[in-house]
Amino acid sequence: INAGYAGAIKNLAMGGISGSHRTCGWKCGRGSMHTIGMGEFTWLEGKCELCYQCQEVCPLDCISFPDEKFEFDDEKCWRCGRCVRVCPADAIEHEGADDETFMKGLSTAAKAVLSTFAPGKVLYVNFLLEIQPECDCMPGADVPVVQDLGLMLSDDLVAIEKASMDMISKAAPLPGSAASDCEIKPGHDVFETLNHKPGHIQVQECERLGLGTQNYELVELTD
């Protein structure tokens, strides 16, 4: 959700890091990327409409409402933030990491995952199909923001992400999509405009960490 754009970097980072560590729980797993401090949740009872959408969207069944009071399992929760995202009344606040810290955390996690493989042993495939307006953490679908663009393959993590972002930004928004509703024009960063998340920081930081280069050459393969 916080990534805005969810490609190879995000899925390496979130997919390759455990949700909960054996000894220190979420604080040493994915939750450490999403949060600052203790990652506390605050329930604003006066705003809550008791719609229970937060409870329904939680992937770990951490949320309950005994006597119509919000409670969550502190140790079980991964701090993914889905509950905050879906609340229509903004009744849940989360002590989350700022955007730059989160994006750099993704990059650091991706580097850690790649350190477990020998150099040249990882191939990246980005499916630019059914491209949704939000990060793929959300369990739902909307009208794709642009037409299907094909598959991207590379052995360079940074290059494939930069190329994917560029192709998506150059494409015309599909009618009826969130991108079209916001009147986003080709050439603009679709995901940053829609989600107000600077996804490009992921790419810049991974390049700084030596995981690839933003300079790329597109080679088109067709039937």
Do 5 and 191 contact (CB within 8 A), yes or no? yes
pLDDT of residue 31: 66
Q: Are 188 and 194 in contact (CB under 8 A)?
A: no
Amino acid 183: pLDDT:
86
Contact call for residues 174 and 149 (beta carbons, < 8 A): no
Mapping DSSP to helix (H, G, I), strand (E, B) and coil, where does residue 201 land? helix
Structure-block tokens of residue 154: 């590379």
The pLDDT of residue 88: 95
Q: So what's the pLDDT on residue 10? A: 92
Report all structural domains of the chain as residue ranges with CATH numbers, in order of start: 8-17+98-208 (no CATH), 40-94 (3.30.70.20)
Helices (H), 26-98: 31-34, 53-57, 82-86
Residue-level pLDDT at 107: 93
Residue-level pLDDT at 1 = 67
**Rounded to two decimals, what is the model's pTM?**
0.83
Q: Tens of pLDDT along 13-72? A: 888 887 666 676 666 666 667 665 556 788 999 999 999 999 999 988 999 999 999 998
Q: Which amino acid is at 53?
A: Q
pLDDT confidence of residue 25: 65
What gap in Å lies between CA 93 and CA 130, rounded to an integer? 31
The structure tokens listed for 191 are 């995901």
Q: Which residue numbers in the chain have pLDDT < 50?
A: none
Quote the pLDDT of residue 188: 85
Collapse the DSSP code of 207 into the 3-class scheme (helix H, G, I; strand E, B; otherwise coil) and give the result: helix
pLDDT of residue 20: 65
**Rounded Cα–Cα distance for residues 170 and 23 (Å):** 46
Compute the distance between CA of residue 174 and CA of residue 36 in angstroms, rounded to an integer: 37
